[in-house]
Amino acid sequence: MNWIWLLFLLLFVAWLPRYGLLALYQDWRSARQRELVEDALKHLLDREQSARHASPESLAGILNLPRVKVTRLITDMESQNLLETRGAELHLTAEGERWAMHIVRAHRLWERYLADEARMPLNKIHNEAQRREHSFTDAQLDELSAALGYPTRDPHGDPIPSREGKMPFVEITPVTAWQNDVLARIVHIEDEPAIAYEQILAAGLRLGQTIRIIERTPRRIVLSDGETEYRLAPTVAANVSVAPLPSSEVAKAHAIPLASLTRDQRGEIVQLDEAVQGFTRRRFLDLGLTPGTVIYPELGNFFGDPRAYRVRGTLIALRKDQAAQIWVKPV
């Protein structure tokens, strides 16, 4: 008789309304279905923004699903008024675009947080943000954005959509199409494919950096920031996009990183690096690190990091990587 009671207990536990095995399975299945829908919406949005259109085949490839399941997913999304089929093309509806923008905003805000506050390596943040992006409401994203200082770009240079679903347009040019010996600012580094992104990071290139092309051959492109040369294969360099140097960057081109100042050498702040965003940028400004301010290293550190700087009569400590993002003109 004991096995009958055991079977009864297992059935009872399985059918508990909120915590039973069946309820947990249904919750998991619902969450999985939502992730598939949201990943599909992102794919459609990405295709439309690049002047192309998604298809059942492209959707099956990006979601790694068999065609029969993709067909079922498309039918389900059509019933929710998220997409419509026109021949072999899939198009977002207004509601589908709104939802897709929400997911993109969540992803890019999470990447900003993971890079700036969690200090996660840049080649790790994409997958982690993709894991977290599916569970936040608009109100929660508003709170995250406010805590980060209302950033406008993610760590790769992509614009962060507004709460209203507006995506700022930024005109950029692949560095492979840029003229030789003309200064430019790196405004976007594509993180896919991952192998190319890791090569760019390993070379030392970063968002906001001022560079120029000093050599171009069919086998390599050599970039320089005035101090260091960076050699990339053209297929890898194509993942780096640049924009013309604004007037503020012209001044930066004649400046040096704060970290390069020797002890008691004074520098006048020219600007904060474009890569400094969100909470970190707000903290720098709160410390008085604004253009025109005089700053200089005052105390050394046996280990070299962090280093003490005197600014506006106050002593502050900055890590080397932070000081490298503050551009100064020696005075």
- Residue 236 lies in domain: 173-245
**CATH for 271:** 2.30.30.90
Report yes or no on 115 lying in a domain.
no
- The C-alpha atoms of residue 220 and residue 65 are separated, in whole angstroms, by 37
Report yes or no on 8 lying in a domain.
no
- The C-alpha atoms of residue 274 and residue 230 are separated, in whole angstroms, by 20
CA dihedral sign of residues 305, 308, 311, 314:
positive
Query: Is there a single domain that holds both residue 321 and residue 265?
Result: yes
pLDDT at 259 over 80: yes
| CA dihedral angle for residue 50, residue 126, residue 67, residue 69, rounded to 10 degrees | -120
Report yes or no on 6 lying in a domain.
no
**CATH for 31:** 1.10.10.10
- The C-alpha atoms of residue 113 and residue 41 are separated, in whole angstroms, by 23
Where is the domain boundary, 92, 108, 141?
A: 92
- The C-alpha atoms of residue 123 and residue 29 are separated, in whole angstroms, by 30
Q: Which residues pair with 294 in a beta bridge?
A: 268
**Torsions phi, psi for 216 (to 5 deg):** -145, 120
Could you read off the pLDDT of 182-231 as tens digits, one per residue? 889 899 999 888 899 999 999 999 988 889 999 999 999 999 988 899 99
pLDDT average, residue stretch 17-29: 55
Report yes or no on 9 lying in a domain.
no
Looking at the chain, how many residues does it have? 331
**Torsions phi, psi for 158 (to 5 deg):** -75, 140
pLDDT at 190: 93
Could you read off the pLDDT of 160-179 as tens digits, one per residue? 999 888 887 778 899 999 99
**Torsions phi, psi for 180 (to 5 deg):** -65, 145
Report yes or no on 99 lying in a domain.
no
Identify the residue whose tokens are 């536990």: 13
Could you read off the pLDDT of 65-94 as tens digits, one per residue? 999 999 999 999 999 999 999 988 999 999
Could you read off the pLDDT of 43-52 as tens digits, one per residue? 999 999 888 8
- DSSP 8-class letter at 158: P
CA 160 from centre of chain: 9
Report yes or no on 162 lying in a domain.
no
Of the candidates 142, 205, 213, the residue with the CA atom closest to the CA atom of residue 176: 213
Report yes or no on 146 lying in a domain.
no
Q: Which residues pair with 186 in a beta bridge?
A: 242
Of the candidates 238, 176, 187, 233, the residue with the CA atom closest to the CA atom of residue 210: 187
pLDDT at 283: 87
pLDDT at 160: 94
The pTM of this model reads 0.71
Contact 102, 163 (CB under 8 A): no
Report yes or no on 73 lying in a domain.
yes
Query: Is there a single domain that holds both residue 33 and residue 75?
Result: yes
pLDDT at 34: 86
Predicted confidence band at 136 (pLDDT cuts at 50, 70, 90)?
confident
- The C-alpha atoms of residue 229 and residue 218 are separated, in whole angstroms, by 18
Measure Cα distances from 282 to 119, 149, 150, 287 in Å.
17, 7, 10, 9
Look up residue 23 and give its amino acid.
A
The two three-digit tokens of residue 1, written as one number = 């008789």
Contact 277, 267 (CB under 8 A): no
- DSSP 8-class letter at 267: E
Task: Describe the crossing of helices 278-286 and 94-116 by its angle, rounded to 10 degrees.
Answer: 50
Where is the domain boundary, 205, 227, 245?
A: 245
State the total domains in the chain. Answer: 3
Query: Is there a single domain that holds both residue 292 and residue 228?
Result: no
End-to-end CA distance of the chain: 91
SS3 250: helix
